[in-house]
Amino acid sequence: MVSQNVVVSDAKTGIITVSTVSNSSVFTPSAQKPPTAPGYISISKKKLLKNLEINGAQSQRLNSWVDSMRASSPTHLKSLSSFSSEEEHNSWIKRHPSALDMFERIIEEARGKQIVMFLDYDGTLSPIVDDPDRAFMTSKMRRTVKKMAKCFPTSIVTGRCIDKVYSFVKLAELYYAGSHGMDIKGPTKGFSRYNKDKPSVLYQPAGDFLPMIDEVYKQLVEKTKSTPGAKVENNKFCLSVHFRCVDEKKWSELALKVRSVVKNYPTLKLSQGRKVFEIRPMIKWDKGKALEFLLESLGFENCNDVFPIYIGDDKTDEDAFKLLRERGQGFGILVSKFPKDTSASYSLQDPPQVMNFLQRLVDWKQMQQ
């Protein structure tokens, strides 16, 4: 009897785990093939699913993983959305109305309070693209964010490393929280009126993990180089394995490769975002904690007259959305064209709508001055 690893995933959380199953209990003799490497299954996804039907629990878990992988694909989302009833979509919109449609209500809630802006980058300020190194924001979006930073304290909160996202944004007057908030840096001195009398902000809660992250990065690059389209990105305090350009037939194989590396590092956790696997230190820190830290750095820790607005499109942004709900201050805006489970209060469909919303905030603020 030979045991094999089967990758499974929770479709809601995106957390990936590996279960060990026996060939004799799951696979029929005709389906068994010699493994290409220890711990791997050389079998098509279609045949694997067919053979797993005799084990309902395992089939359900694998289907959950496949659904989770597909859920990060805009193409699949568009296909799935056609099966959703109009009533269901309208119900979601009622719970998470457009921030543009509700702009006047938002302004009324924010009146007399200090607005503080938090913006994700990929999928929020820039479109999601096949090559993560070419996720450029438009010059018009850059001008809008620059004007926003003159009106309100503004931060970029992203899974990217600070150097990479700064090369895209190129605005020294912003606060940057890279690596999912594990690398925080304030504006360059003299570029922002919000940090004139405050010490420079620099916080790296996962600093001890740097050698480990570099070690895992090298292993992942080596492990995934045989998978066409896979790209490993070193975000300094976390890693991303992009599978946006990987053939869907290779997804399970890639996930097994990634997991075979990460399982040797119990202090790292593996999760899934929009067509990307994320590897992060297992510490109590996320984008919500980063938001809280930045508010404290700005002097708004215990203020009742602060109004944080967080705009993001990914699962990792949910930590910030939840924090704002718990605080009862400000709100989150989810960027998505399709209904998703979210703690955000409002929604916008895409980066152009985000830019429209930001510009309206700037226009409103300038009218108040």
Q: What is the mean pLDDT of the chain?
A: 83
Amino acid type, 131: D
Q: According to the model, what pLDDT value does residue 74 have?
A: 52
Instruction: Give the pLDDT score at 274.
Output: 84
Give the pLDDT confidence of 88-121 residue by residue, as tens digits: 888 999 999 999 999 999 999 999 999 999 999 9
pLDDT on residue 59: 46
Return d(Cα 149, Cα 219) in angstroms, integer: 40
More confident residue, 290 or 191: 290
How far is residue 153's CA from residue 284's CA, in Å, rounded to a whole number?
A: 25
pLDDT tens track for 191-229:
776 666 666 778 999 999 999 999 999 999 999 999 999
What domains can you pick out in the chain, each with its CATH number? 113-205+285-367 (3.40.50.1000), 208-281 (3.30.70.1020)
Tally of helices (H runs) and strands (E runs) in the chain: 13, 14
CA distance 281 to 212: 9
For residue range 225-258, what is the model confidence (pLDDT) as tens digits? 999 999 999 999 999 999 999 999 999 999 999 9
- Residue 89 is encoded by which pair of tokens? 């979509």
Residue 89 has a pLDDT of: 84
8 or 129, which is more confident? 129
What percent of the chain has a predicted confidence (pLDDT) above 70?
A: 75
- Examine the pLDDT at 66 and tell me if it is beyond 70: no
